[in-house]
Amino acid sequence: MPSERQLVLTSPIDVIDWEQALARLLDWGGRRESRYACMCNVHSVVTSARDPAFGGVIGNADMTTPDGAPVAWALRHFRHTPQQRINGPDLMWRLLGAAQDNALSVFLYGSSDATLAALQAALRRHFPQLRIAGAIAPPYRRMTEDEDDLDVALINASGANLVFVGLGCPKQEYWMAAHCGRVQAPMIGVGAAFDYHAGTLRRAPPWWQHHGLEWLYRLGHEPRRLAGRYLVTNTLFVWGLLRQMLSKRSLRR
């Protein structure tokens, strides 16, 4: 399915709505095509602009959705059309429901054993007919080649149609790009969605999400970890976006 993209800083972001995103992933999943999808927020867009290697990972992705509200706002500005925010946690939840309805199986890759156990319990409550093909919590250290090969073999042998990857940015994006062509299913990087849906991390209430303030809510709960990141990336994003607005660069595919 062809797509149209718009540059936000240097990242090509899909101009896409919820129905199109879900339909594309379900189609790839039904065919077990080896592809990967990235949910792009301010942090990933700024990182992509500053790091050519990561920029290549984003640029080569089969789907890049506007995860962050500012990224969706940027698409609205450049395209003069409505653009929904298609974020990792909500995409995962909607796709799980669609997978259940379409008899597609899913695989969970990332986080910890405890979080995966809680997540699978939550999914069984909400999606009782969903087929969970398997789950792996990889070690936080660098994996050996044999360990990595084993994980790939387990994922492929499970017959999973969709692989949700929750390793955090940018680790999950690098992992998906490196395994595209090896994992026999579309991989979807969903960031903190595993923790949100498992109940191990509280997500911002809907009002904060709808007003583009989810980052501020997270900052209030994790100031030591996120203060530096948001201060730097938000400033660089605003500055870069202002420059782009003046140059009016765009990309169509």
Can you give the residue ranges of every domain in the chain? 7-195
* DSSP code at position 183: B
What is the rounded average pLDDT of the residues 66-86?
A: 92
- Nearest of 194, 208, 73, 223 to residue 132 by alpha carbon: 194
Strand 131-136 to 187-189 pairing? unpaired
Q: What are 189's strand-pairing partners?
A: 38, 165
Tell me how many degrees the CA angle 19-20-22 measures, rounded to the nearest 5.
Answer: 65
Highest-confidence range of 192-196, 198-202, 221-225, by mean pLDDT?
Answer: 192-196
In the predicted model, is pLDDT for residue 30 greater than 90? Answer: yes
Question: d(Cα 169, Cα 58) in Å, to the nearest integer?
Answer: 11
In terms of Cα–Cα distance, which of 153, 187, 154, 161 is closest to 57? Answer: 187
Residue 141 class from Cβ within 10 Å (0-12 exposed, 13-18 middle, 19+ buried)?
exposed
- Grouping H, G, I as helix, E, B as strand and the rest as coil, residue 39 is strand
Instruction: State the Cα–Cα distance between residues 119 and 195, nearest whole angstrom.
Output: 8
* Total Cβ atoms within 10 A of residue 188: 29
pTM over 0.85: yes
Q: How many residues does the chain have?
A: 253
Span 108-132, average pLDDT: 98
Question: Which range among 67-81, 159-173, 177-191, 213-227 shows the weakest confidence by mean pLDDT?
Answer: 213-227
- The reported pLDDT for the residue numbered 221 is 63
% of the chain with per-residue pLDDT over 90: 75
Rounded distance between C-alpha atoms, residue 237 and residue 197, angstroms: 29
pLDDT of residue 211: 62
Question: Could you tell me the pLDDT band of residue 107, with boundaries at 50, 70 and 90?
Answer: very high
